[in-house]
Structure formats: C-alpha cells, structure tokens
Amino acid sequence: MSIDRVVSPASRAIEIVGGDLTESSLKRYLAGIPGVDAVGLEARAADLGSRSIKTTSKAWALDRIISLIDLTTLEGADTPGKVRSLVAKGLTPDAADPSCPRVAAVCVYGDMVPSAVEALGAFHGDAVEGGINVAAVATAFPSGRASLPVKLADTADAVAAGADEIDMVIDRGAFLSGRYGQVFDEIVAVKEACRRADGSYAHLKVILETGELNTYDNVRRASWLAILAGGDFIKTSTGKVAPAATLPVTVLMLEVVRDWYRLTGEQIGVKPAGGIRASKDAIKYVVAVAETAGEQWLQPHLFRFGASSLLNDVLLQRQKLASGHYSGADYVTID
C-alpha cells in the first residue's frame, strides 16, 4: 500500500485528522496520541473494582446489567432450536418474576439471524421501546481472515436478514503491521455494507480483539482508529481469544469514548465481551462506566456486555436479594 494513497473518505476523520486524509496523515495522527500510563491505568481499574455496592444500589445494578446484555451463542453447533431457546430466555429471563427486565440483544452468527428474527416476532426492536435487537457477528468472525468482498457480503447478508447490529472484527495482522489505512478502509466499507434499503444503517460494533494487540498503547490507537472510521461501538473481544475483556482495557476504552465525546459531542458505545461470568465482576464494569464515561453511558445504545453465562449468575443474585437465600442452579434455565 502506498503511504500517500488516499484512504476512504469519512467526514469526521477528515475534520479530526485535518487536511487530506491519507495513510501518512492517519499514521501521524495515531502516533501523536499520548501513550498509556500502564501502572496508573491498572491502579485506577483496581480501585474501581474494589467499590462495594449494597442493597437497593445492588438491586438496581443487577437489573441494569440484565438490560445491557447481548445474550450470545457463537458455536459451530448452533441450531435454529438453540437460537429460539436463547430468544425465549432473553425475553423472559426469570419466568417466576415478570418484573425482570429483558436483555438488550441476542447475538448470533449471520446464518442464524432469520431464526432469531422469527423467534422474536413483535418483540424484535429497540430495547428502549421494550424490544430486543438482533446482533450478528460478521467479517469472517472470529479470525477476520477473509478477502474484503467476502467480509462485505457476510455483513450485507446479515443486515438483509434483519440484523440490527453488526459485530465486525478488525484485521489485527494489518494493524500490528502498521497498515492503519487498510484497517480504516475496511471499517468504512463494512459500515457502508450496514446500509439498509431504506437508507438507515445497522449499528456497527468494531471488535479490536485486545488480547492480540499486546499493549495498552495499541488498544488506545485501535480504539481511536475504529471511531474515526465510523464505528458506533468499540468492543474488546470475540470471546475466542485469551485474554478477552479485562477491567483495565475496558477503562481505557471508556476513556477514549469520553475524550471523543468531549472533542466532538458524539457518544460512542463500549462493549466488553468474553470472560465476564459473575455478577460481582459485571458490577465492577458498571462502576467503571459511571465513573469514567458517566452514568449516561449505562444504557443499551452506549454500553453492552457480550455474555452467555453471565445472565444466570445475575438472576441467582437477584433471587437472593428478593428471597434472602440462594437458589440452586436449577432455578434458572441452562440456555
């Protein structure tokens, strides 16, 4: 790739980077982002993770966590029946308690989108309006190792099938090789592939796969790059690579969206995914969101948990608060 090749246009990137948006200007901009104080970041995350939440605040946090979950199944053995079960659980997480909120979305592979849409029926819609969105992973998830035409077709097929949100993976090899323009171009192109026939767009979540980016500095640069290219969310991980979501990395990404908001007035979402299984850990993330980006980020269009097993633990904790004693695992469904 020529260093002076003009990359795909994006008005906000041109405004922020300044002048002509070229590979070299993009590199200069990202290189100028201040480095991360790793010790300070980890100390702040540890402090946020040590906060104690009790009684009514805990009850509020548990309900909010449920409303922020992307209930996920991303296995090769997924079937339409499993997706229908997942949707049923997302709609009614606790059959014994109708006050329990619904999840924000169900997240599936692209070919499972029609099954999810059909299972949701009239409840297919925005969480703010009482519905549940359908999110689909795309762009050769989880590796991202495919040609751009394949990635775009993958995305367009999922959107045409009814996906409200697309979770794409960046080309980590290109990013780590310093080919920032290539990564930028792909995000811009995938965003355009999210365009529906009526001119609206499915929301785009850009997965950085932070466990493969090696350094906090890389995570910060990749976060800015994804936002500049048009991502509506930045997401930590596919859940297929260790380490997946961590509190320090999520705090760092929250700092990026906070700084972007201060710079532009535009709110970008954050989604930690992979490895968050216990309600006590999810509460740490809720605290981190409130104290880093602000409480206004604690809503489905700005923060999500990518999870499969987290919901059950939150439900058990919720039942414990209501009854005063712990329920057994058979008091929640397996799916």
Query: Where does residue 195 fall: left (phi above 0), alpha (psi -120 to 50 degrees), or beta otherwise?
Result: beta
The question of whether 82 is a catalytic residue gets the answer no
Marked catalytic residue, from 89, 191, 205, 235: 235
Which amino acid does the sequence have at 327? Answer: S
φ and ψ of 261, to 5 deg: -65, -40
The question of whether 164 is a catalytic residue gets the answer no
Marked catalytic residue, from 271, 284, 313, 335: 271
Q: How far is CA 172 from CA 81, 115, 235, in A?
A: 34, 31, 14
Angle between helices 279-292 and 55-67 (to 10 degrees): 90
The question of whether 271 is a catalytic residue gets the answer yes
State the Cα–Cα distance between residues 63 and 55, nearest whole angstrom: 13
Helix (H) or strand (E) holding 150, with range, is helix 148-160
Q: Do 159 and 202 meet the contact criterion of CB atoms below 8 Å apart?
A: yes
Marked catalytic residue, from 167, 185, 313, 335: 167
Active centre residues (catalytic): 167, 235, 271
